[in-house]
Amino acid sequence: MFEHLQKKWNVNGWRLILILITFAVGGSLTGYAGKWVMTTLGIRQTAVYVPLYIIVITILWPMIVLLVSVFTGQFVFFRNYLIKMGRRMSGKFNVTHFPDKSIAMEDLPANDLSNSRKHIAIFASGAGSNAQKIIDHFRQSDSVYISLIVCNKPNAGVIQIAARENIPLLLIEKERFFRGDSYVPELNNYQIDLVVLAGFLWKIPDTLIKAFPERIINIHPALLPKYGGKGMYGQYVHEAVLGAGEVQSGITIHYVDEHYDNGDIIFQTACPILPGDDPEKLAQRVHQLEHLHYPRIVESVIKKL
């Protein structure tokens, strides 16, 4: 159980102990404070006491646990934790299925957004391993926030990540994305500063590029300008690299423009192609580079905005 919590919250063993202590002490103090309030009010009838007591401790718990977290050094963690709880209770991370079978997020005001932070939207179509690494990287950040996950596949693994992390999810459909407003109003509603593509397989339309000039970045699993363009994604890239007899591959992080894999390069790094490599083995080595470097480069880009 403890290993699961460490992984879920991205903390080491010592921090996990402090977090659990904060939960325990905060819960106990909330119970005592709730009883004091009820005694002060002089309420004794069970039918009134129980529901009112639940309301009182529900109101008191966030304030008390934040106060305790100051003394345990876990204030940032619990502030973010309470924000995510608020999102879950409001249901903002859920999606709405409209009668025309298009899928969109409820158009609710993003009341918990802070103008002092930079806000990221992650676009992903698959399992979301890069999305998870980026979320983990900014989990305790005071200045950068993952405000939205955008996905074009209702069964993609990244949707489970959004639910687990309590991050609002926007499921998009092709007609509106390519021939409508490209969901720019929703992105603006969440005050998005940077769009990060993390395994997103649709070409970005001009409407979105114009709305976020120099503020959309992508990662490609090869050393551009080689092995880029339409149809060059995932295993197809690695097969092409190996088929050409290259001695190295790598990753390219670049700005997105109106053409596939064509924007200005921000960062590149290489890995060797080893004897006996097949597309799967090469993909694993390239994924390691993606997970190591993409969150760091995302941070460097958004800090310049």
pLDDT of residue 7: 65
Helix axes 235-243, 279-302, angle to 10 degrees: 120
Fold of the domain built from segment(s) 98-302:
Rossmann fold (3.40.50)
Cis peptide before 295 (omega within 30 of 0): no
Q: Summarize pLDDT for 189-247 with one digit per residue, the tens.
A: 999 999 999 999 999 999 999 999 999 999 999 999 999 998 898 999 999 999 999 99
How is the chain split into domains, by residue range?
A: 2-87, 98-302
What averages of pLDDT result for each successive group of 10 residues across the chain (305 residues)? 68 85 93 90 82 90 92 85 66 37 38 69 96 95 93 92 92 94 94 96 95 96 94 93 96 94 95 94 96 97 93
Active site residues: 220
Please tell me the predicted confidence (pLDDT) of residue 87: 55
pLDDT at 78: 85
For residue 274, give the amino acid letter: L
Q: Where are the alpha helices (DSSP H) in the chain?
A: 2-9, 13-41, 46-72, 75-90, 129-137, 157-165, 174-179, 184-189, 206-211, 235-243, 279-302
